[in-house]
Amino acid sequence: MEPGDSTKQARAATQLRKGVLEYCVLALMRDRPRYGVELLHALEDSGALATSQGTVYPLLSRLRRDDLVTTTWQESTSGPPRRYYALTDSGRAALDEFTRVWPGFRNAVDTFLTTPHPSTGDLA
C-alpha cells in the first residue's frame, strides 16, 4: 500500500460531501424544522456524510443568506432555546430539483465505475 492512500480516499469523500451535503441538510428539514445539533447528529449517524461538526454552521449560514432556509427560536424543556431551521419555498424547490437529477447522476457514475471501458470508441 502506497503511503497517502488513505489521504486520497479522504479526499474523494471530501469532494463528494462538498457537493451533496447542503442537499442532505435540506432533505433533513423536509418533514419538519430541525435545530443545529439535531441536524449534526443525523449527519453523523449517516456515516458517509459525517464531517467536522463546526463546518456545518457556515453552510447553514449560507443557506439562510440564500433564503433556502429560515430560522426561528424555540424554547426547550431542557437547556437554552434552540434555533430551528426550516425550508423556505425556494429551499424546497432546490431540494426537489436535486431529488430529480440525483438518480440519473448516481446511475451515470455507477455505470462509469462498473462497466469495463472498451479500448475503442464503440460501446459494446
Partner 1 sequence: MKTSADLVHGYLSAVEREASALPADRRQELLADLAEHIEVTRAERPDTAIGEVLAELGDPRTIAATALAEAGNGAAGAPARGGAPARRGKIHPLVPLLMLTLPFLFAALLPHVPAAQFCSTLFRVIGAVLLCTSVHWTSVQKTTGVLLTAVLPTVAISVWISSSAAPSGDTPALLANLATLALLTGTAAWLWRVRRA
Taking the C-alpha atoms of residue 56 and residue 46, their distance in angstroms, rounded to an integer, is 15
53 lies in the binding site for partner 1 (CB under 8 A): yes
Stretch that binds partner 1, among 26-34, 75-83, 100-108, 114-122 (CB under 8 A): 75-83
Per DSSP, the chain holds a count of helices (H) and strands (E) of 4, 3
Q: Residue 31: which residues within 8 A CB-CB, separation 6 or more?
A: none
**How many residues bind partner 1, per CB under 8 A?**
20
Question: Minimum Å distance from CB 120 to partner 1?
Answer: 36
Cβ at position 33, least distance to partner 1 in Å: 15
- Between CA 93 and CA 103, with CA 98 as vertex, the angle to 5 degrees is 140
8 lies in the site for partner 1, by CB under 8 A = no
Q: Per rule CB under 8 A, is residue 58 in the interface with partner 1? A: yes
Asked if 109 interacts with partner 1 (CB under 8 A), we say no
Least Å from the CB of residue 64 to partner 1:
9
82 binds partner 1, rule: CB under 8 A: yes
Q: What is the DSSP string of 23-80?
A: HHHHHHTSSS-EEHHHHHHHHHHHSTT---GGGHHHHHHHHHHTTSEEEEEE--SSSS
Q: Where does this chain bind partner 1 (CB under 8 A)?
A: 35-37, 40, 52-55, 57-62, 76, 78-80, 82-83
